[in-house]
Structure 1
Amino acid sequence: MTNQLLQCGFVLSRSAFDVNNKLQINVWVKTATSVAKLIIEDELALLFVEVDLLDDALFLLQENHILVAQRKVLALKAFNQNQVAGIYFHSLNNFYLARDLLKSKSIKCYEDDIRPEERFLMERFITADLAFTGQLQKNKQYNLFTQVKCKKADKTADSFLSMLSIDIECSMEGELFSIGLFSLSTQHQSVDNKDYKKVFMIGQPQTCDEDYIVWLEDEASLLKHFINEIKHVDPDIIIGWNVINFDFRVLQKRCDHLSIPFVMGRDNSKVRWRNQNNEQYYISVAGRVILDGIDLLKTATYSFPSFSLDYVANTLLGMSKKVSDVDNRVQEIIDNFHHDKIALAKYNLEDCRLVSLIFSQEQLLAFAQLRAQLTGLSIDRVGGSVAAFTNLYLPKLHRSGYIAPNMGDGNSELVSPGGFVMDSIPGLYNNVLVLDFKSLYPSIIRTFKIDPMGLIEGLLEQNEANSQAIPAYDDAYFSRKMHFLPDIITSLWRERDKAKKEGNAILSQAIKIIMNSFYGVLGSTGCRFFDPRLSGAITKRGHDILKMTKQWIHEQGYQVIYGDTDSIFVHIKDSTKAESLALGQELQGFINDRWHQHIEESYNLSCDLEIEFETHFSKFFMPTIRGSELGTKKRYAGMIINDIGQHNLVFKGLESVRTDWTQLAKEFQQALYYKVFHDEDVEEYIRETVSKTLAGEYDEKLLYRKRIRRKLSSYVKNVPPHVKAARLADKHNAQQGKPLRYQGKGWIEYYITLNGPQVKEQLNTTLDYQFYIDRQLCAVADAILPFINKNFHQITTRQLGLF
């Protein structure tokens, strides 16, 4: 063993468990030159109790033979101002036993849900970049360090993370056919600049040009070769598509069935699992990270009608899976395994490659790394806004003399409202300007010093003479000096501005997601800092900001026709594009000046609110609620003329951007609105569209696509058309001896026929064209036609009589 100088690395994973009845924390780190396993053995598990209850707590623990390592009265207090003591434990087992016992005896414990490994990193302000020293024991695949000391790295660790994509192919019963592996040359430090590719296939060797196929005699051999290949390639990151809940779950089940240890860890440890509600599974592999492409895209706020690999690859890459019929790919996979294993190998490998290309093009690994570096969340954490807030906030809170409250401590009868949405003024307008408050909720937090500890301190200050506490809503007050959240957001804000200037879109997006999540965290009952006075201080302030901004604009002689959370829509008089743009900038400056002046005079605070002139719609349409004269909310359309004179239509919440409307309705709306916005005749276009619909020329555009969100059997009352189609389809499948496709959750494509809804692949009767005309074309047209004094029925009546 040798002492090592200070090294830096990126945290891959962290865990804590008992070894010889003593707590051990393991942190796996990727450095610039190697992988390191850090063993920390001198930490204690910890929970807090109020000092008044300490003796009772210790008596209970002693009476039940639960060993306590230390007990200490601390210079810390709960939000109720009661002083607390720490109770420390050598082992996790004793910690959990003590926690459960004390709670069962109504002795309140604080911060007893924070795992030791998370507390170890958090209290050192370590997020993902870590500096360490320790005693080195060299190992073939990694370096083992004991007697470790850690601290936050001064700079981002220069550590390359290698990435390997995997995909399995199997029968409906889960029996494995093949396992594919792929890595782009840029993802595995290739020395020959070649992509790595391999497919392990069960079957007799066949003569072919694909040298990446490894032929194996049975499933046991397949699994053993795969496990050995993972050890040989030694990736830091394993990626895939639904890779945890499908691929790894199947691999685990097949290993269990064949009594093969599923050893994937860098220290030859087995895969470890935990699950939530027997649906969502979480995986832990020592020294490696498993990243699912679907989860990561959703975390990065991507949105698709379908997150199937084929759909996402088509959308992002313009590429498709190597299968002739995506809808019936399972049967094709089975057929290929029995009759064309080469084709199956190509399909298997292509799925791996598509996932690698998506990760590479969208820089998903870089996004996950940045998110971890900003928040302290493990790189594979799905969601985690509450945990991110806790990681950043808790160590600062402790250093100010407080411990965190428990979930439920902030509950009250108060209800904080959501974002303010104004009543709209429906109509067809020329020249509408949109002004948008930049990150409104984070700006409110910064300006008005909204903060969990700041609320507690502000309420205390308010009882003092000459209080300078900042008034909010619901009798809440915030301290001007005792707070952390405004400073955390300010720091993130500056980093985002820097990222924007440097053109780092990934970092900018990561910071935006984190900043915008903090309001949601404070308004979530799943957060220990939840208090309606906190979230209400943000949303109610947002309501007042939009109302006052609207008033100031009206005083300038302009009409506000709509507002939504952080945006104001202003109708101005007829003017040229240049005049409209100039007015937008003028209103931006005017509103910002007024807010700076108002907040300085009313609260003696600096103003971080900033409104931006965002969009000029040369034409703008705000519809009414169907069957009413009231204006809609969150639904509108507009036309923007860009710098080179192109006319672009924008739709918000209308049929053309919704997944549950037919393609015909979407195209019809876009074309119809374009004509209306350009003052073109619409009648001939409407009649032509109806005529071609009745003639069957648009049948391929009349398909509905909807998600089945529950099991079919759970739909009892008000059964919707897509469920009716699914039940009919699976009844037919059962009669034909085919697998039932629609019993669980998933997507379905169907038509409305004269005999009711039918799935696409079983269509056997005439479509109900009148249904589509009434429910799709008429519904779209009659939203806008009254504003140009026209009516869909009148336009089409004479024509419909001909059919």
Structure 2
Amino acid sequence: MLFYLLDIDDSAEGIILFGVTEEGKREKFVDSSYRPCFLVLPSNKEKAIEEIEKIIKDNSLPVTEITEETKIFYGEEKNFIKIYTKRHQDLQKVRDAIKVLEAKRGGSGSIIDEFEYQTSAYRMYLAEKGLSCLSWLDIEIRGNQVKSIKKANRASPKLKILAFDMEVLEVKRGNPSIVMISIFGEGLSKVITYQEAKYSINTIVVKDEKELIKNFIETIKDYDPDIIVGYNTDLYDMPILRERAKQLKVDIGILSRDNSGITLSKRARFTTARLIGRVHIDIFNFVFNILSPMLQSEQLTLKNVSQELLGDTKLDMEYEDILQAWDKGHEIDKLAKYCLKDSELVYELTKMLLPDIEELTRITGQSLFDTSRMPYSQLVEWYYIKKAKQQNRVIPNQPKFDEIKQRQQTTYEGGFVKEPEVGLHKGIAVVDFASLYPSIIATYNISIDTLNCSCCKDNGYKIPDFPYWFCKNRKGFESQAVEELLIKRLELKKQLKKLDPDSHEYLLLDTKQRALKTIINASYGYYAYPASRWYSKECAQAITALGRYWIKEVLKKASEKGFHAIYADTDSAFLRVNSKEAVEEFIKEINQNLPGLMRLDLEDFYVKGLFVPRQIGGVAKKRYALLDEKGRLKIRGLEVVRRDLCKFARATQQEILKICLIEEDIPKAFKYLDERVKALRQGNYDLKDLVVYEQLSKPVSEYKLISPHVVAAKRLLEKGIPVGEGSVIGYIIQKGSGSISERAYPIELADPSKIDIDYYIENQVLPTAMRILKVFENKGTLF
């Protein structure tokens, strides 16, 4: 039968597969074929087996079988001992018992190290089988047991997605309560609450909070979604829902398809909330981990993110407004609309972003739940693990804490930077290498197992300024893995050029190439990531050295052509040129001499560009604004160069930038700044424009350095307003004694008559405006 794998888990029975049949039925099956095992690298195989068997016997360890197997270990074939255990959780126990044989631990030295004992069962199952969630499988079933399984090709089924949002208030001091839940999906849009009012939207009014949660659970049961989505629900909504249900004695088991309810677990610094069999996606995780470098906003609130990505945003209601609406029983309909709008925005964001997450799930070969929460490093890691299993390679161990700390102390030279020439320039061509570092990895065969190989000492790929070379005779593991993705993406981009951009096929292929790009561009950083399984300072150094060599070559060739380099950074160069045609010819000549998969592109041609200085001497990297031929502005590093910037300061800077770059009326720009400062002094501003927003990345009690948003959060807690990890704190600075942090008040508790206007002028408006105007300071008046 055909079965679309939606989610996966492990149990005493085996690996549990949740999904959709060809007929559209939601089913779960058990695969008992998975056998937990780990690998031991011996220095003396016979002696190691003898000593291991004695330890197992003496300690009555739950080992079912010991075999021998040849595997590839960093490019070389090695003989390994394979130890099978009764249960997956026994792996660590058995490994801990036999590691005493290592010489470094004072043992006989018959074994060198152990591998593949740390990964969860279902993750290893997927890697070993070469499967992934969100794929069709051809499975043979007997009862509910899987007898055989293989991949199948078919278009993805339509999955049922449901978004939700909760409003939580501290109705009784120290006891946060859920007062409203909104739900939004295809054919379903409603709010559940327990306060009567004249509602203009579909609203179910129940008796109390207990009945509210029950109604929500019943809705989930009836709608039976495959995916439940929210925004910051891992850290906020799910833990609160779980705790309130427990206190009110409401069974929420049905939220999961195995009736386990909400399973909370800690991953690094963050909590995750899992609904087994029914996938919970916190869309904030994907925005934070993957999208944030590409977004203009640094405050990744639902309001900001939906505004930027959807062109839509939350309804305007502050926490104090919500509290008053609930307490006084007025504007409850407005609150219901506010709550429902949040669910609608989450649903629309999910529709936009889910295709990318689904493609990343297939590339990494893991579950949708896990992939949606992976940062760049884990996406690369799981892609490598999948490839390692396909090639019979050993997966390297995660580094220990001390090793990570040691790696964190290691530094090396990064990309080449030619500091920009401050001022206004005209006729700028920006050229850049397509995926510079990944293409270097593929072209120069950069891998741990090809580094300084014995066969290519005199004729390998030599690295400028380093005693490194890479093999020319056999392809390295990481190099091959990255090259595969690069070639796939190039093929997809060729196909895209032949398709109508509005066609369904175009959208599908574009999603695939974006997902490939995400992992491709993270491959270099993974070498330098301290917690990487495939960490290599030498490989990272080699890549950046070659990157520096090639960008310098481009600058040298550009100079020979009569182009003037205004600025260069890592993989791109900003050239003042005579014509676009001359640049295109220049790029063509460069590409004829580039090796392998390396390629130089014309990013765009710009009519004008403004490059600004640092605050204190020198100039700044990636702080510029460009105006293209269609009159569009491309801005980097100017509007949000500091985290503690209010909207008033950012808007001032943006307007000054437009006046200077587009109108080239510098006196007007100075006059505008003067007007903005006067407006502040005269009180002509909206208080909300002075609010600074920052997010709490951990519980308030865990902060050692007390910054303004932490002080503001503490003041909220003192007033009984619930905030915690993940909460976005909006604050203003008031007059008074003490540091800026000590004078930070949450907007909910701010006193408009005590706003420290001098702080905003001296620390927010003037510094940001003068980053631009300093270029023209001899043409206006400085404050």
Shorter-chain TM range is 0.7 to 0.9
State the Cα distance separating 1:268 from its structure 2 match. Answer: 4.3
Larger radius of gyration: 1
Task: Give the residue type in structure 2 aligned to 1:163.
Answer: I
CA distance in 2, matches of 1:17, 1:498: 45
Distance 1:417 1:793 in 2: 41
RMSD (Å) for aligned C-alpha atoms: 3.6
Partner of 2:638: 654
- Give the drift of 1:368: 1.9
Matched, 1:746 2:728: yes
Whether contact under 8 Å (1:271, 1:285) holds in the other structure is yes
Judging changes above 3 Å, is the alpha-carbon distance between structure 1 residues 124 and 390 closer, same or farther for their aligned structure 2 residues? farther
CA contact (8 A) 1:730 1:742 kept: no
Residue in 1 aligned with 2:230? 240
1:39 aligns with 2:27: no
Residues 705-745 of structure 1 show CA distances to partners (whole Å, capped at 9, x for unaligned) of 1426577788888x766667x38x939x96xx664879996
1:559/1:109 CA distance change after superposition, 3 Å: same
Q: Post-superposition shift, 1:765?
A: 4.0
532-541 or 225-234: bigger deviation: 225-234
Q: CA 1:91–1:738 in structure 2 vs 1: closer, same or farther (change >3 Å)?
A: closer
Structure 2 partner of 1:70 = 65
- Alignment of 1:571 onto 2:576: yes
Deviation at 1:46, TM superposition (A): 1.1
**Equivalent pair of 2:239/2:264 in contact (CA under 8 Å):** no
Aligned-partner SS, 1:171: strand
Secondary structure of 1:49 counterpart: strand
Alignment pair present for 1:133 and 2:133: no
1:100-150 Cα deviation digits (max 9, x unpaired) = 32346646211112233222222232233142322254xxxxxxx313322
- Does the 8 Å CA contact 1:72/1:86 hold for their aligned counterparts? yes
Q: What CA distance in whole angstroms lies between the structure 2 residues aligned with 1:267 and 1:692?
A: 57
SS at match of 1:235: coil
Q: Does structure 1 residue 406 correspond to structure 2 residue 393?
A: no
2:128 aligns with 123
Equivalent in 514, 519, 523 of residue 524 of structure 2: 519
Show the counterpart of 1:730.
Answer: 715
Shift of 1:405: 2.3
The answer as to whether partners of 2:659 and 2:669 remain within 8 angstroms in 1 is no
Closer, same or farther: CA 271–420 of 1 in aligned 2, 3 Å: farther
1:534 pairs, out of 530, 539, 546, with 539
**Is 1:12–1:379's contact at 8 Å kept on the other side of the alignment?**
yes
Quick one: distance in 1 between partners of 2:376 and 2:677?
Answer: 48
Return closer, same or farther for 1:491/1:720 CA change in 2, 3 Å cut-off. same
Structure 2 CA distance for partners of 1:326 and 1:105, relative to 1, 3 Å: farther
Counterpart Cα distance in 2 of 1:156 and 1:149: 19
After TM superposition, list the pairs within 5 Å mapping 1:341-356 onto structure 2.
344-356=335-347
8 Å CA contact 1:782, 1:791 repeated in 2:
no
Structure 2 counterpart SS, 1:372: helix
Indicate how the Cα distance of structure 1 residues 583 and 754 shifts in structure 2: closer, same or farther if over 3 A, else same. farther
Question: Do 2:734 and 2:756's aligned partners in 1 also have CA atoms closer than 8 Å?
Answer: yes
- State the SS of the aligned residue for 1:123: helix
Partners of 1:685 and 1:401 in 2: CA distance: 64
Residue deviations 1:158-184 (CA, integer Å, cap 9, x gap): 321111122233332233334332212
Q: 1:790 aligns with which of 762, 767, 778?
A: 778
> Once the 2 structures are TM-superposed, how far is the Cα of residue 206 of structure 1 from its aligned partner?
7.5
Letter in 2 for 1:459: C
Q: Corresponding residue for 1:249?
A: 239
Instruction: Read off the aligned partner of 1:371 and give its amino acid letter.
Output: L
- Between the aligned partners of 2:321 and 2:526, the Cα distance in structure 1 is 41
**Partner residue, 2:600:** 611
In structure 1, what residue type is equivalent to 2:620?
T
SS at match of 1:301: helix
Residue 481 in 1 paired to residue 481 in 2?
no
**1:437 and 1:610 in contact (8 A); partners too:** yes
Distance in structure 2 (CA, Å) of the matches to 1:715 and 1:512:
36
Equivalent residue in structure 1 for 2:628, among 615, 618, 640: 640
User: How many equivalent pairs are there?
Assistant: 729
Please say which of residues 250-259 and 37-46 is displaced more in the overlay.
250-259
* Corresponding letter in the other structure for 1:181: I
Q: Supply the distance in 1 between the matched residues of 2:374 and 2:34 (Cα, whole angstroms).
A: 28
1:782 CA drift (Å) = 4.8
Task: State the one-letter code of the partner of 1:661.
Answer: L
Distance verdict in 2 for CA 1:681–1:90, change over 3 Å: closer
1:181 to 168, 180, 183: 183
Aligned-pair CA distance for 1:65: 0.7
- Hey, what does 1:687 align to over in structure 2? 671
Corresponding residue of 1:801:
none
Paired with 1:136 and 1:699, the residues of 2 have a C-alpha distance of 71
Distance 2:774 2:330 in 1: 61
C-alpha distance in structure 1 between counterparts of 2:267 and 2:573, whole Å: 43
* Paired AA for residue 517 in structure 1: A
Match of 2:108 in 1: none
- State whether residues 434 and 615 of structure 1, in contact with CA within 8 Å, keep that contact through their aligned partners in structure 2: yes
Contact between 2:613 and 2:775, CA under 8 Å: does it hold in 1? Answer: no
**Letter matched to residue 650 of structure 1:** K
Name the aligned partner's letter for residue 540 of structure 1.
A
Deviates more, 1:434-443 or 1:671-680: 671-680
1:392 alignment partner AA: Y
Q: Matches of residues 109-258 of structure 1 in structure 2 within 5 Å? A: 109-128=114-133, 129-135=135-141, 137=143, 145-153=144-152, 155-172=153-170, 173-184=175-186, 195-202=187-194, 212-258=202-248
Per the TM alignment, residue 438 of structure 1 is displaced from its structure 2 partner at its CA by: 0.9
CA 1:156/1:587 → structure 2, altered by over 3 Å: closer, same or farther?
A: farther
How much does 1:326 deviate?
2.1
Determine if the alignment matches structure 1 residue 707 to structure 2 residue 694: yes
Could you tell me which runs of 5 or more consecutive residues in structure 2 were left unpaired when the two chains were aligned: 103-110, 500-505
What's the CA shift for 1:396?
A: 4.2
Q: Higher relative CO (CA 8 A, sep ≥ 6), structure 1 or 2?
A: 2
Aligned to 1:558: 563
Structure 1 residue identity aligned to 2:634: V
Amino acid at match of 2:114: C
Shift of 1:344: 4.9
SS in 2 for 1:406: coil
SS at match of 2:621: coil
CA 1:246–1:789: 2 relative to 1, 3 Å: closer
Distance in 2 between residues matched to 1:779 and 1:384, nearest whole Å: 34
Opposite residue 748 of structure 1, the aligned amino acid is: G
The answer as to whether partners of 1:474 and 1:533 remain within 8 angstroms in 2 is no
Deviations 1:503-535 (Å, cap 9, x if unpaired)?
324333222112111112222122211111222
Give the equivalent residue in structure 1 for 2:502.
none
CA contact (8 A) 1:442 1:519 kept: yes
Say whether the 8 Å CA contact 2:434–2:598 is kept in structure 1: yes
Q: Which runs of 5+ in 1 are unaligned?
A: 1-5, 138-144, 185-194, 600-606, 797-803
In structure 2, the residue corresponding to 1:181 is in which secondary structure? strand
Q: CA deviation at 1:258?
A: 3.4
Q: Distance in 1 between matches of 2:700 and 2:395?
A: 44
**2:325·2:332 contact (CA, 8 Å) conserved in 1?**
no
1:443-471 per-residue CA deviation (whole Å, 9 max, x = no partner) reads 1122112234444xx624347xxx76433
1:375 is aligned to 2:364: yes
Sequence identity (%): 22
Question: TM-score scaled by structure 2?
Answer: 0.83
CA distance in 1, matches of 2:358, 2:724: 37
Opposite residue 429 of structure 1, the aligned amino acid is: H
Q: Contact 2:239/2:273 (CA < 8 Å) preserved in 1?
A: no
| Structure 1 residue 406: Cα displacement | 1.9
